[in-house]
Structure 1
Amino acid sequence: MLFTLIYLTTAIFGYITIYLIGFKFKSNQHANVYLIIFFFLSSTRFFFSGMVNVPFFANKLYFINVLFTVTSWPCLYLYFTHLIHNKTEIKAKEGLHFIIPLLILSLAVFKFLWSESTVSKLKVISLVINLTMNSIYYLASFKILTKSIWNRNSEITLINKQNKAITKWTTFLFVVLSLIFLIYLIRFFVSEKTFWNLDQSSYLWVGALIWIFIYLKTLSDPQFLYGYDVLQSKIKEYKKNSIAFDNVWKMDYNVNLVNVQDTVLKEKIQCNIENYIIEIEHLALHSNLFFKETFSAEDLANKLGIPKSHLLYVFKYHSNVSFSDFKKIIRIQKAIGFMEEDYLKSNTMESLATDVGFSSYSPFFKSFKSITGLSPQEYCTKMD
């Protein structure tokens, strides 16, 4: 009875998580579909385990366990791949990753078509294929994580903060699932030549408790679902009378001022901070000022018609990035827009660098990789 309660509680938490992801966050088009699928399969497995005393669910439990076992690591691999490449859509060729899982699943579903001896042979073959496949996807996932996520750094403070958050999440997820996979391997080689967690008495309740923690962690910080383009997605459009770059700006007016001059300045401009920010955004998105090589904070202040000290105050106390970093973000976003418009079909990378305001290709390359995690060439390849 206790185990049944744990399994059903886990399933409920999982379905609530999926519901909130699908509806509360439906305006965010960067939700990672493969992680959601993985959550759904896991939740359904625990639901059927909790309902094992009901004949209908008991008869389907084997099928659900096999489905979860053969699709888990392909889904996780694709999740990590989408995470590092900021991909939102599912491409048809990704379906190739599920050919072998579907084959194994078919053998399990239609086992009644063959004799008992044939079923025994097919079961062994399926188990070996499944073990090999999961091992390959496990190692491939580890390679992606170590190469492109866990060691990902940026010179932009805001981007680096996001990198660290996603690194912590993926490390936690990978370690937990590695332990589960290790248990599966030990059980497979030592005693039970069966699929993952089919025996309901074999510590499945421990996994259920771990999954509850995973769901709670996801709900507490849903950025884990989206990837690295949370900041960039905010730069794509300007909304009138609103702050578009909401990951850049800080609207907390209870800031700790470092000197008397700033204290005096705060009294003068506090009521204008939001207007300043909206005007800065508008110029960043609807003018070419930021793409001039020599463009400076003083130039921006003059264009806004405010003292330079006011502008520096805004970036000092109400921005997560410096003026220099903000300028780099705007320029790289413009460069990405040019790339998507096939600019490079008739122009070089060097001309792209200078057109968006960099003095040469070298600082452009460094800033591009710092912000996107990819070199300009890698980004172009990803778009193809």
Structure 2
Amino acid sequence: MITSLLFVSNILLGSLLIFIMLFSGRTNIRVNVYLILIIVQQISHRAFIFYISFNSLDLTLLDNYPAIFSVSLVPCMFLYSRTLLTKKINFKKDLTHFILPVTYTFFSTLFFETSHQQNSFFAFTVIGVYLFLTFREIIKSNKDSHSKDEIIKRWVYVLLIAFTVIYASAFVLKAYYGLDTREWLIDFYVIASLVWFFLFFYIFLNPIILYGKIILLRNIVVEESNSEFWKFKTIRQVDQKHLYIQTAMIDTFSDLIYKLIKLQSNDQLIKENSFTIDFLSSQLAVPKSHLIYLFNYHCLYRGNDYINLIKVLKSKRLIKAGYLEHKTIESLAQECNFNSRITFFKNFKKETGVSPSEFNVNLTV
């Protein structure tokens, strides 16, 4: 009963993920093609196992599965991981990874009667090769100084460890029960289902896997107030002298934009510090040149204009909260870290078109 529930829960969670990826316009479906194929294979297999166990059918029906499994899933895991790490997709070249498994399955099914042991040996060989290839891609990614997407790397690590656990358990169980028996299969499928149960919840807890970082951050930015002046695409052509910074920030600029959006809404931080580009550089632990690059190519305001804008936005929030009902404009200017009333007045009118007093009056009209 518990085993059947585990299989059914795998089927339902996997189906839900596929539905989200196929029918949500925000999902990064091109990158997730192989993830979709992996989950489709997994839930279809769980459905088949559930059918066999529920109807107490002969386990020999699973004899050809190891080869089919290596065809449909293991190469997909490697190609999916490589796509995430390299950010490159070439579906035509990827087809070469399916030639050997498909050929073996085709001939073993139609022309030769291969044994359960032969199918298992072939499957374990293919699995071992692709686990090694995936591990090699991770090592190459770690050596790449420009690849700094830790969330995606962590997901690839989790995926590799999960697959390794599944197939290590198969190897151990097969050795324990003996090569000529199929008693190990149900125990193996239970372990595999538990691992997949964990993977499904990991995906739900990390929506970046489904949506991709840029798409996810765009939606977050839309929901954030005062962030419409940030753009994820460059707003002008990058100068030749700044191309090296663009390359260095290719995996980090979206994270940095989101951190700036969070930081610019921190009223206490704006009040207690000299809110300058140098301060932001120190607070975010990034080179000043990286911030200047963002202001030049991903923000509608340049450095000092951005700093003054953030202070004005804070003053608008305070006015809307009733600050001027009990305090003066001079006090408001100090609260927002402006050097003087005149500087505050000038920047406020530049941004809103009216003075702070007029802005306050308009709120009550």
**TM class, shorter-length:** 0.5 to 0.7
Match of 2:201 among 216, 236, 257: 216
Q: Which residues of 2 match residues 183-262 of structure 1 at below 5 A?
A: 183-188=169-174, 192-193=178-179, 199-225=184-210, 244-245=231-232, 248-249=257-258, 250=261, 255-258=266-269, 260=271
CA contact (8 A) 1:7 1:208 kept: yes
Match of 1:92 in 2: 92
Between the aligned partners of 2:188 and 2:118, the Cα distance in structure 1 is 26
Alpha carbons of 1:142 and 1:27: their partners in 2 closer, same or farther (altered >3 Å)?
closer
Pairwise CA distance, 1:262: 6.3
Pairwise CA distance, 1:84: 1.6
User: Which runs of 5 or more residues in structure 1 are unaligned?
Assistant: 235-240, 266-279, 290-295, 302-307, 315-384
**1:258 aligns to what SS in structure 2?**
helix
User: Which runs of 5 or more residues in structure 2 are unaligned?
Assistant: 220-227, 233-253, 277-292, 313-365
Pairwise CA distance, 1:64: 5.1
Between the aligned partners of 2:64 and 2:117, the Cα distance in structure 1 is 17
Match of 1:50 in 2: 50
Match of 1:368 in 2: none
Which letter maps to 2:17? T
Superposed CA RMSD in Å reads 4.5
CA contact (8 A) 1:11 1:46 kept: yes
**2:134 aligns to what SS in structure 1?**
helix
**1:257 aligns to what SS in structure 2?**
helix
Instruction: Tell me the TM-score normalized by structure 1.
Output: 0.55
Between the aligned partners of 1:170 and 1:221, the Cα distance in structure 2 is 13
Pairwise CA distance, 1:169: 1.9
1:165 partnered with 2:151? yes
Equivalent pairs counted in the alignment come to 265
Q: Which residues of 2 match residues 1-384 of structure 1 at below 5 A?
A: 1-26=1-26, 28-52=28-52, 53-54=54-55, 62-63=63-64, 66-88=67-89, 90-110=90-110, 114=112, 119-120=114-115, 124-149=117-142, 160=148, 163-188=149-174, 192-193=178-179, 199-225=184-210, 244-245=231-232, 248-249=257-258, 250=261, 255-258=266-269, 260=271, 284=297, 297-298=303-304, 301=305, 309-310=307-308
CA contact (8 A) 1:31 1:225 kept: no
Cα deviation code 1:264-301 (max 9, x no counterpart): 99xxxxxxxxxxxxxx99973799x9xxxxxx735xx3
Alpha carbons of 1:60 and 1:242: their partners in 2 closer, same or farther (altered >3 Å)?
farther
Match of 1:349 in 2: none
Which letter maps to 2:205? S
Alpha carbons of 1:98 and 1:313: their partners in 2 closer, same or farther (altered >3 Å)?
farther
CA contact (8 A) 1:218 1:224 kept: yes
CA contact (8 A) 1:7 1:50 kept: yes
Which letter maps to 1:142? F
Alpha carbons of 1:184 and 1:109: their partners in 2 closer, same or farther (altered >3 Å)?
same
Which letter maps to 2:42? S
Which letter maps to 2:303? A
Cα deviation code 1:231-269 (max 9, x no counterpart): 9999xxxxxx7854375242687525236476999xxxx
CA contact (8 A) 2:74 2:127 kept: yes
Cα deviation code 1:170-218 (max 9, x no counterpart): 22222121111212233455654489x9854324223212211211111
Between the aligned partners of 2:160 and 2:207, the Cα distance in structure 1 is 17
What fraction of aligned residue pairs are identical, expressed as a percent? 18
Between the aligned partners of 1:263 and 1:286, the Cα distance in structure 2 is 21
**1:94 aligns to what SS in structure 2?**
helix
CA contact (8 A) 1:127 1:194 kept: no
Which letter maps to 1:179? V
Between the aligned partners of 1:32 and 1:103, the Cα distance in structure 2 is 26
Between the aligned partners of 2:44 and 2:191, the Cα distance in structure 1 is 17
Between the aligned partners of 2:55 and 2:177, the Cα distance in structure 1 is 29
CA contact (8 A) 1:6 1:208 kept: yes
Cα deviation code 1:83-134 (max 9, x no counterpart): 122134x422211111121123224533xx55xxx644xx555443333222
Alpha carbons of 1:232 and 1:203: their partners in 2 closer, same or farther (altered >3 Å)?
closer
